Amino acid sequence: MFAQQFQNVRLTKHSRLIKFVLDRFVAAIALLVFSPVMLVLAIAVYFQIGRPIFYTEARPGKGSHIFKFYKFRSMTNNRDSQGKLLPDDQRITAVGYFLRKTSLDELPQLWNVLKGEMSFVGPRPLHARYLERYTPEQARRHEVKPGITGWAQINGRNSISWEKKFQLDVWYVDHWSLWLDLKILILTIWKVIKKEGISQQGYIAMEEFRGTQTESLNDRT
């Protein structure tokens, strides 16, 4: 029994090392291959939205370690007369809508993968302000590196509830394997082609997570 457990631990360590090496190697190749596409997209963003071209934000990774997260900008910073940002659907541009629909806005995260801050597959990195709102179980999503895509992304992405999303993230943590990552990558390509689960009804991006307790109270009203 103990020999079997020891062997499983060794296999897991070897698999994680393989994932670490593959992430960085493939990210380096992908950055070279997609650099012309990224240049064209950067120019399009610049002429329609202006500077900065990239949307950057501090987000938590493995162990809740904070890193700088990159995406192409898809929205303007237009505000109302009181200085508040306008709703998403009034700020997103034609280029931004195209980037969101095709998931090309995620390409700059290849740099995060190359730096070792992210993986190709894992729970999506969310806002740092959410850290204090997670339950201990939900916080387990930070036991692994965040990913460009993940188990929750191929099972509804932004069209499912936060509670369901976190359940899927924790399931991934508990059932991780290289084969599962490969399955997620293949299904992600299919989902992007079909443009499924891009957003919740009424939102361009996912509605803000305010905590499980708050969500439960809203569900009862």
- CA 161 vs CA 103, 104, 166, 198, 212: distances in Å: 20, 24, 9, 13, 11
Q: Which residue has the tokens 């200085």?
A: 83
Q: Per-residue pLDDT averaged across 42-69, rounded?
A: 94
pLDDT at 92: 86
Query: In the chain, where are the structural domains located?
Result: 15-207
pLDDT tens across 200-211, in order? Answer: 444 456 678 888
**Token representation of residue 35:** 């650099």
Q: Is residue 215 pLDDT above 70, yes or no?
A: no
CB 113 within 8 A of CB 120: yes
Residue 220 above 60 pLDDT? no
Q: How far is CA 180 from the centre of its chain?
A: 17
Kindly write down the DSSP assignment for every residue of 153-217, as one continuous string.
Answer: GGGTGGGS-HHHHHHHHHHHHHH--HHHHHHHHHHHHHHHHHT-S---TT-SSPPPP--HHHHHH
Question: Would you say how long the chain is, in residues?
Answer: 221
List the structure tokens of 36.
Answer: 């012309």
Dump pLDDT digits (tens) for 94-149.
998 899 888 899 999 999 999 999 999 999 999 999 999 999 999 999 999 999 99
Most confident stretch, 78-87, 98-107, 111-120, 157-166: 111-120
What confidence tier does 89 reach under pLDDT thresholds 50, 70, 90?
A: confident
